Amino acid sequence: MAETAGSVMLARSAMGRAGPELQRPPGRPVRGTRRVSAALAGLAASARHELLTFDDPAASVARAIPEPFLELAGACMRAAAERAGEVRRIVPRHAVPYVADAVRVPGRARVAESIPFKMILVDRAVAAVPLDLQLHYNGLLLIRDPVVVQALVRAHHAAWDTSQELAGLTAPSPDLPPQLRPVLEALLAGLTDETAAARLGMSPRTYSRRVGELMAALGATSRFRAGAEAARRGWV
């Protein structure tokens, strides 16, 4: 644990050293949905040997993130995983219900009690870290500085060594909880959150929470995938 904490502190310190004029900034900030999407696609296309990630799919649930972006980000990472010879993904324990399909993704996945930040690191050459450390959608820092990249690799390796294999930990919910049936039907009907909440007699906040519960039960990171997974399980 001491090695993990030390590696994380080194990585964070290195990422924050862009201030003094005589130092070269360790990374390039990328903002805006189109630029972030292009950066993620470029990362996926460049993968050849190794893909290391800290991932928390639960962070995007119940957030106002467009589903096309979530689908694109997922497709990019699957493409990168298929190209890379070595794939290691670490997720926090609270996100296990959201990654029920992770064992079918190329490579290996492990569970840690928590992750220090989200990260995508390709071939030990370039990394993408969210500007807010949680969601790439809000902007990311593309890092190519070899010192910072090496610090991130060390942080990932230290966390990997103390984490648990994901395989066998995830299991889909056998039945749809009764209170979530109306929410699923509203999603499949394409109702807006405001219309669905009014029709179901819920406050918008309660409806949003129920949508999050439904997505957790389905292990989905977007509403589109939630519908597809519900159909696969025979819930519709």
Q: What is the pLDDT of residues 1-16, one digit of tens each?
A: 555 555 566 565 555 5
> Could you tell me if 219 and 172 are in contact, meaning their C-beta atoms sit under 8 angstroms apart?
yes
Q: Say what the pLDDT of residue 3 is.
A: 56
DSSP E strands, the chain:
27-30, 50-54, 86-92, 108-112, 119-122, 126-130, 140-143, 164-165
pLDDT above 70 covers a percentage of the chain that reads: 82
pLDDT tens for each residue of 100-145:
554 456 788 999 999 999 999 999 999 999 999 989 999 999 999 9
Region of 32 (left: φ > 0; alpha: ψ -120 to 50; beta: rest) is left
User: Does residue 40 register a pLDDT over 70?
Assistant: yes
* pTM score above 0.75: no
User: Does residue 21 register a pLDDT over 60?
Assistant: no
pLDDT tens for each residue of 182-214:
999 998 888 899 999 999 999 988 898 888 888
CA distance 191 to 28: 39
Q: Which of 190, 40, 38 is nearest to 120 (CA)?
A: 40
Q: Which of 136, 121, 165, 86 is nearest to 11 (CA)?
A: 121
